[in-house]
Amino acid sequence: RSIAVVGTLQLSFTPRQHYRIKHHVKYAAYSKFPTFTLWYEKGLKNLLGSNVDYDLLKLGVCQNLKTGFDNYLHYSLVAGQYLNNRKLFAPDYTFFNSNNQVVRFSNHLDQFGLPKYYQLFSNKHFFDGYIGFDFGKLLLKRLPLLNKTLIREDLKINYVTTESVPNYLEMSYGLHNIFLLFDVDFYVGFQNWEHRQTGVSISVNLH
């Protein structure tokens, strides 16, 4: 049985961050530089009955960029290492967001579209990266009729490597905001640089 008391520390830094003040409230506006984040997580053994004992360190960088009149680039890169994994259970592993359902109710930049739930995980070391290109007009959006709609196109490249799942790469092309409600994405997955699977998903955006 797992009883976990966990302490976490997160530090984020964005160089040359610009701020704005609205209604006497100061908030982050923009920066030309990415945001760097350091996470430290400690499983506290013997505290309040806790029986986990591990140390996890992660370092990440992410950024959102406007690359054209109506085009955007988003990326996130994270490297992690369990400095100590003397005692941890499945809930303490690092899991990577995956959903292989054909019909789903979420669609995120950092979501793999072909692996099953909980298939991608680590309890030793890992690196994962997500790059997304969001286009107002790329391929199909140039066709008659479609070019008059609010549909957007995107390209995504997602990658993860762990001690259990080495070198998994996934690429996708998607049409978003179909009737302001649906997304359709087409996926191709590679394991150790060899083609493994393809698939398609339909996302219903209710938020």
Per-residue pLDDT tens for 184-201?
A: 999 999 999 999 999 999
Closest to 93 (Cα-Cα) out of 48, 52, 61: 52
Question: What residues contact residue 17 under an 8 Å CB cut-off, 6+ apart?
Answer: 28, 29, 31
Helix, strand, coil percentages, rounded to 5, for the chain: 5, 60, 40
Q: Which amino acid is at 189?
A: G
CA atoms within 13 A on the CB side of 51: 5
Beta bridge partners of 200: 186
pLDDT at 1: 78
Averaged pLDDT, 37-47 = 95
Written as six digits, the tokens of 144 are 């008659």
96 touches 80 (CB < 8 A): no
pLDDT at 106: 79
Q: How much is the mean pLDDT over the chain?
A: 92
Closest to 184 (Cα-Cα) out of 154, 150, 157: 154
| Distance between start and end Cα atoms, the chain | 37
Give the integer Cα–Cα distance in Å for 69 and 67.
Answer: 7
Owner of token pair 């997580």: 41
pLDDT at 17: 85
